[in-house]
Amino acid sequence: MREIIFDTETTGFDPQSGDRMVEIGCIEMIDRVETGNSFHCYYNPQRPMPKAAEEVHGLSDIFLSDKKLFSAGADELLEFLGEANLVAHNAQFDFNFLNAELVLCGKNPISQFRMVDTLAIAKVKHPGAKLSLDALCSRYGIDRSHRVKHGALLDAELLTQLYIELTGGRQIGLSLADDKVDSGSDKRQPSRKEAALRRQFIAPRPHSASAEELAHHAAFMEGIEDPLWAKT
């Protein structure tokens, strides 16, 4: 099963009031294992960046001024997303911005049925707890020491680890590092099923009692005085 874990950065909270998406980061997973494939892009929002938003993600008007418009990269993004389910934290927020951008450039919005919300999963698993990405990373021991400001690709990478933990933990991927696809090599890593079929098993050792052991057991039984089973 192919899934895309993604995150966005924006100019604000509401695309209906004119806020725009300025960054998207996506991580590809197949059968809950990272493939090594990702998508990351910045976009010129064609509007000033509010100071409050810039303080969150650090993306300034100057930095974004030479970036392409979303409409110029929409097809590339849609090709990467394909038909996969899309996983995000507080996913409705990210879906609203992604779909608003798609509609603005004449594309069809992405179906809400493809949305997987890790915030909703966390609410079920940890009712009453703090459920921000930072708080959940701390709960599951996910290292976020390199996260100084919000960043779409960085947050998607953290969310990928969190999603694995929320949906069963590391045993789902078993050896995650060994299962990754090396994009720079023609050699495909064997799947977990293939690896299991190739595994060599040690033949079971004989475990039946020897004649000597049976003789010792019989002698022991004979030596028991007034055994309970003799009364039945």
pLDDT value for 231:
74
pLDDT above 70 covers what percent of the chain? 81
| Strand ranges, E, within the chain | 2-10, 21-30, 33-42, 85-88, 115-117
> What pLDDT does residue 178 have?
45
Model pLDDT, residue 62: 95
User: What is the per-residue pLDDT for 195?
Assistant: 52
With a cut of 50, which residues of the chain have pLDDT below it?
Answer: 171-187
Tell me which residues are annotated as active site. 150
Tokens of 222: 């004979």
The conformational region for residue 82 under phi > 0 = left, psi -120 to 50 = alpha, else beta, is left
Task: Check residue 88 and give its pLDDT.
Answer: 97
**pTM of the full structure:** 0.70
> What confidence tens digit (pLDDT) does each residue in 72-90 have?
999 999 999 999 999 999 9
pLDDT at res. 194: 54
* Own/partner pairs, 70-75, CB within 8 angstroms, 24+ separation: 70/20, 70/21, 70/43, 70/101, 70/104, 70/105, 71/104, 71/105, 73/41, 73/43, 74/101, 74/102, 74/105, 74/107
Determine the angle formed by the axes of helices 118-125 and 152-166, rounding to 10 degrees.
40
Domains and CATH numbers, the chain: 2-176 (3.30.420.10)
